[in-house]
Structure 1
Amino acid sequence: MRRRPAVILVVAGLATAAAALPSIATSASQGDTRITSVVVNDGRTVVLGVGGPVTFPVAITATDDSGIRSVGPIGVWGPKYGILKVSPATCEKLSATTSTCTGVATVDTSRHQVWNDEAGSWYVDAQVTANDGDHLRNADLGGFSLKRESRLRGYNVPTHGKAGARAEIQGWLSRAWWDNGEYHGSPDDQVRLMFRPDGGDTWTAVSTRVTNSLGQVTATVELTRSGWYQWTFAGSKWTGPARSEPRHVDVG
């Protein structure tokens, strides 16, 4: 059964994507108060697995000729009625006119505070009040990404092989299923098999494959020299990137 919209209370800070917006249009304002930047989780994408709580900061910089009294309430909202409430913001005065105010949000996927279809683009809204009573309210200050964690595993990689021999190297891409707290195969995603020769520091793509309905892939490669193989996934709008553990093949 589909649940009611989740409301997530905020209590501390870390893990995410962000928006740093140098000049943001404002609405519902009085006076010369302006928001000059919004940064979520220090500019990093929020990637959530299926473990315990993850916290991340939401920092808003605002300016007014009289100085900033407060920023809040701050809200974070996303697809399918996804809502995060942000803790009361603590303000740091940068100058007589400008302050950066930071609150934090906490998400616990094990408590079903987000659901699979709420991954994607999220937005920030906030209210700013200046010392002279000027104020600003904006419901769309900028976007950030909240994604499901992915995992990538390589297997069936031979430890030894003759030069010129062919090997089938397999991989499995899974992603967090927030709905049930597990990881399941991620279908129809493009992954690449990378190779780095012994003594080298550059990875080169030797095969590109699309995962099947179970998240599995297979690539056939010719063994030419000793080195390392690794699967990589660049991520998508809804899913974070992943790399498998490098596996070494000794070719002789």
Structure 2
Amino acid sequence: MYTRTRSTLAVATAVTGALALSVLTVPAAQADIVYGDTRISSVVVNGGKPIVLGVSGRTPVTVKMTVSDPKGISDAGGILYHGTNISRNDWGVILPICGKHAVPVYTCTLNDTFDAIKNAHAGTWKMWAYANGMDGHYIQKDPALTFKVLRATKLTVNAAPEPVKKGKPITVTGSLTVANWETHKAVGYGSQKVVLQFRKAGTTKYVNVKTITSSSKGALKTTVGASADGYWRLAYAGTTSTAAATAAADYVDVR
């Protein structure tokens, strides 16, 4: 019988509570490995949404994994990791073990604290997953799922003067910051494209007015003409490693 699952479990069972390892010591597993009729049919991390981490680099996360075996499930679990595959990773989080369930199909809910310590850990992550049947059958999947882990961003906006005469200029200022997981601070995010949007009073839809670029320290500034009462805001679409953000709107009365 193939014993890779059991040796990997030795790593997981030695962990108490939430733990992230700088290098996960697990055997190579670069594809699905199946013995018998144990199956993993569904894996969902964080409700299918990207995991967004603020300045602490930590957040609770829930993983739901549906596993099956005609004889019941002995145990199941997995590792969330950053890297090429489970044997070539640079950071990971070992999930709690889903215990014995004497039913043919069971959905495990695994709650843990997710963390990352380097900004370079932002981007695409994967999950290595396993399940063992009560009859000695088992499965490993690598990856069982790919998902995004993003650095949190924040936008502020201010439109002035308030009120303003119709046709006169409005100066819109703001700032874009991004979470730095290494310093645990929010820092200015430079050279990013941000869209200025306007919603006329009495309407429900924002329209794009112009695109501006943040300064090296994340500052934003532009000027537009005052045409009608309404709400001004800034919107950032995000990147493959940073989350999207939208500033709370600022109302300007045009007279």
Q: TM-score over 0.5 for the alignment? A: yes
> Is the CA contact 1:33–1:128 (under 8 Å) kept in the aligned structure 2?
yes
Alignment of 1:214-225 (within 5 A): 214-225=217-228
> Is the CA contact 1:91–1:99 (under 8 Å) kept in the aligned structure 2?
no
Dislocated runs of 4+, deviation >3 Å? 8-12, 90-93
**Corresponding residue SS for 1:240:** coil
Shift, 1:28, TM fit: 1.9
Which of 101, 106, 111 is the equivalent residue of 1:104?
A: 111
**Corresponding residue SS for 1:117:** helix
1:144-199 CA deviation, whole Å, 9 max, x = no partner?
11111101011353211111112221221010011101111112221111111111
**Hey, what does 2:131 align to over in structure 1?**
128
1:36 aligns with 2:45: no
User: Which consecutive residues of structure 1, in runs of 5 or more, have no partner in the other structure?
Assistant: 1-7, 13-24
Shift, 1:241, TM fit: 1.3
Distance in 1 (CA, whole Å) between partners of 2:100 and 2:164 is 61
What is the identity, as a one-letter code, of the residue corresponding to 1:138?
K
Which of 93, 99, 103 is the equivalent residue of 1:84?
A: 93
> Is the CA contact 1:234–1:241 (under 8 Å) kept in the aligned structure 2?
yes
1:211 aligns with 2:218: no
Distance in 1 (CA, whole Å) between partners of 2:16 and 2:185 is 23
**Hey, what does 2:86 align to over in structure 1?**
none
Distance in 2 (CA, whole Å) between partners of 1:91 and 1:138 is 19
Query: Are the structure 2 counterparts of residues 11 and 82 from structure 1 closer, same or farther at C-alpha, using a change threshold of 3 Å?
Result: closer
**Corresponding residue SS for 2:252:** strand
What is the identity, as a one-letter code, of the residue corresponding to 2:95?
V
Greater CA drift, 215-224 or 119-128: 215-224
Which of 227, 247, 252 is the equivalent residue of 1:249?
A: 252
With normalisation by structure 1, the TM-score equals 0.82
Identity of aligned pairs, percent? 28
Distance in 2 (CA, whole Å) between partners of 1:204 and 1:92 is 53
**Corresponding residue SS for 1:163:** coil
**Hey, what does 2:153 align to over in structure 1?**
150
1:167 aligns with 2:170: yes
Which of 165, 174, 198 is the equivalent residue of 1:195?
A: 198
**Corresponding residue SS for 2:75:** strand
> Is the CA contact 2:74–2:99 (under 8 Å) kept in the aligned structure 1?
no
> Is the CA contact 1:91–1:100 (under 8 Å) kept in the aligned structure 2?
no
**Corresponding residue SS for 2:143:** coil
Distance in 2 (CA, whole Å) between partners of 1:183 and 1:155 is 19
Two-structure CA RMSD over aligned residues (Å): 2.4
1:208-233 CA deviation, whole Å, 9 max, x = no partner?
12222221222221110001101111
User: Which consecutive residues of structure 2, in runs of 5 or more, have no partner in the other structure?
Assistant: 1-14, 20-29, 84-88
**Corresponding residue SS for 1:140:** strand
